[in-house]
Amino acid sequence: MVTTQSSSRNARRRPRKWTAFLRRRSMLARLLATILLAVCVPLVFSSSQFIRRESGTIQQYEQEQLSSVAQSIALQLERFMESMQSISTKIMLNSSLYENVIASNVRTELEGLELIETYQAALPFVADYALYYENLQSLYSNSGKYRPSVFAEQILHLPAEQWPALFEGVNTPQFLPCTAGSALYVVPLRSNNLDASARFCLFHITEKTLTKALANLLADRYFLFSMEESLEEGGSLVIYQSSAGAPESASTPGSYLLNGQEYMLTSASCKGGYTLAVGMNKSGLYQNLERLNAHVGQFSAVALLLCLFLAGIAVALNYRPIVSIFNAVRG
C-alpha cells in the first residue's frame, strides 16, 4: 500500500518537474521554437524546389541524349540502305550475274556464288544476302544456292507458302515485314536483257548483326525496339520488331517496361518514310530521382504540418510575454 502511494506521488511530480523546467527556461524555449519556425519554412520550400529543378534538369538531359542517339541511329540506317543499294547496282551491272550466264552451267554458277560472296565485307550488318531470279526460281546467296521455299524457311524463318506473295508490288527498294528479331530489305533490279525476268537482291538483317553494327551507338543503355513504315493510306506497317517484344507502359509517366527493365522511349525518322523506336535503359540515379520527385509533394505536406506545429508552439510560448508588452504600452 505504501509502495503504491509512493509511485502515484512520483508520477504526479514528473509533470511538475517538466513544468518547472520549462518555466525556468521559457525564454530559451520561445527562442528555439521561433528560430526553428523561421528556418524550417524557407528551408523546406527551397529544398522542394531544388529537388524538382534538378530532377527536371537531369530528365531533360537524358531525353536530349536519347533523341541524339536515335537520330544517329536513323542516319546510320540510311547509310546501311545506301550500301545495300550500291551493292545491288554492282550486282545488276555485272554481266557474270545475268540470268542467261549464271544458269548456263555448273562452272558459271560456282563463279557467280564466289562473286556474290566477295560483297560480304561491305555488308557487316547483313547476316545473309541473295540474288533471286524469279524465272529460275533460284537464289544465289553468300552461303550457297537455294530454292525459294528452302531459303524462306531456313534463312528467313517464314512459311514457304508466303514466298510467292512476298514480292508483289515491289518496284522500289524497301523493307518488307519479316519475323521478330530480323528485317528484310529488297532491291528490285532492272535487267539489260529484255528476255530476262525480274531479279531481286535480298538482304536479311538479324538483331544480332544489327546490334553489332550499331554497337558504338547503342552501348549498354540504348536499344532499338522497332522500325515502322508510314503507309500512304494511313497507319503504319511494322517492318522490324526486336525479339524481346514490344514494351509496355510503366506506372511512371513516359516510362516503359520490357523484361522487368524500365526504359525511356523516343522516335526518329529516316529516309523512305521509316520511323524508329529507340529506348534507353534508365540508370539507377535517374530512377531514384524520379521516385524522389514523386514524393516531394508528400514531403512538402509533412513539412508544412511540422511548420504549423512549430508555429503553434511559438505562439503558445510567446503569448504571455506579448500580452504583457501590450498591457505595458496601454498602461
Higher pLDDT among residues 184 and 50, named by residue: 184
Strand-strand pairing, 261-270 and 255-258: antiparallel
Asked, for residue 34, whether it belongs to a domain, the answer is no
Cα–Cα distance for residue pair 76/268, rounded to 1 Å: 12
Asked, for residue 27, whether it belongs to a domain, the answer is no
Asked, for residue 196, whether it belongs to a domain, the answer is yes
Residue 2's pLDDT band, with cuts at 50, 70 and 90, is very low
Provide the residue type at 187 as one letter.
V
Asked, for residue 329, whether it belongs to a domain, the answer is no
pLDDT at 245: 74
Higher pLDDT among residues 327 and 311, named by residue: 311
Asked, for residue 61, whether it belongs to a domain, the answer is yes
Contact 99, 126 (CB under 8 A): no
Residue from 120, 248, 126 nearest 178 by CA: 126
For the chain, the domain total comes to 1
Residues 6+ apart with CB under 8 A from 154: 146
Asked, for residue 38, whether it belongs to a domain, the answer is no
pLDDT at 121: 85
Asked, for residue 91, whether it belongs to a domain, the answer is yes
Cα–Cα distance for residue pair 159/156, rounded to 1 Å: 9
Which range, of 15-19, 76-80, 82-86, 242-246, averages the lowest pLDDT? 15-19
223: its cell numbers: 536499344
Using alpha carbons only, give the angle 31, 36, 41 rounded to the nearest 5 degrees: 140
* β-sheet bridge partners, residue 186: 174, 202
- The residue-averaged pLDDT of 13-36 equals 58
Q: Residue 69: is its pLDDT beyond 60?
A: yes
Asked, for residue 4, whether it belongs to a domain, the answer is no
Q: Helix %, strand %, coil % for the chain, to 5?
A: 55, 20, 25
Q: Residue 215: is its pLDDT beyond 50?
A: yes
* β-sheet bridge partners, residue 275: 228, 269
pLDDT at 276: 92
**Helix count and strand count (H, E) for the chain:** 9, 12
Residue from 33, 196, 202 nearest 116 by CA: 202
Cα–Cα distance for residue pair 320/280, rounded to 1 Å: 62
* Structural domain containing residue 94: 55-288
Residue 128's pLDDT band, with cuts at 50, 70 and 90, is very high
pLDDT at 324: 56
CATH code of the domain covering residue 66: 3.30.450.20
Q: Full-prediction pTM beyond 0.85? A: no
Residue from 242, 246, 240, 236 nearest 273 by CA: 236
